[in-house]
Structure 1
Amino acid sequence: MKITVKLFASFRDNRFKVEEREYPEGTVPRTIMEELGITEEEMGIVLINGRHVSLDDPLQEGHTLAMFPLVGGG
């Protein structure tokens, strides 16, 4: 199935901004996160089609997955 993956902020460093990728049915955001070398501790927000989801919500054909890192601050 084709999924559009969007990375934001520091997740783009040495990766990509937006990419359409092929994954098997039943793939979850956690799988993609691990494939990209992103740890759960770094992960801030995960969205599928603009809605907040968990790392274990299944993706479907044509979905857009957006991943944002935690934002540090004072």
Structure 2
Amino acid sequence: MNVDVTLFPPLRENRFSKSAVTLADSATVQSLLDKLMIDREQVESIYVNGREASFDQRLHAGDRITFLPFIGGG
């Protein structure tokens, strides 16, 4: 199945900002992160089709996934 993925800096460094990604039919948000080689500790928020999601959420063909990075500072 294909899903649309949007990454924001610094997650998109050496990757892409928006892309279609092909996954297995049983894919979850975590398996998508694994495929993209993104460590879950780098992700602050996940949105699937505009709604907040969890790492174990199952994905479906045509889903739109957005990853927002953890940004520390002070």
Gaps of 5+ in 1: none
Q: Deviations over 1:15-55 (max 9, x none)?
A: 00000121111201101112222112111111100110101
- Compute the TM-score of the two structures, normalised by the length of structure 2: 0.92
The alignment yields a C-alpha RMSD, in angstroms, of 0.9
Find the counterpart in structure 1 of residue 23 from structure 2.
Answer: 23
TM-superposed deviation, 1:73: 2.2
1:12 match: secondary structure: coil
User: Corresponding residue for 2:63?
Assistant: 63
Aligned residue identity for 1:25: D
TM (norm. structure 1) is 0.92
Moved over 2 A (4+): none
| Gap regions ≥5 residues in structure 2 | none
% identical equivalent positions = 30
Number of residue-to-residue matches in the alignment: 74
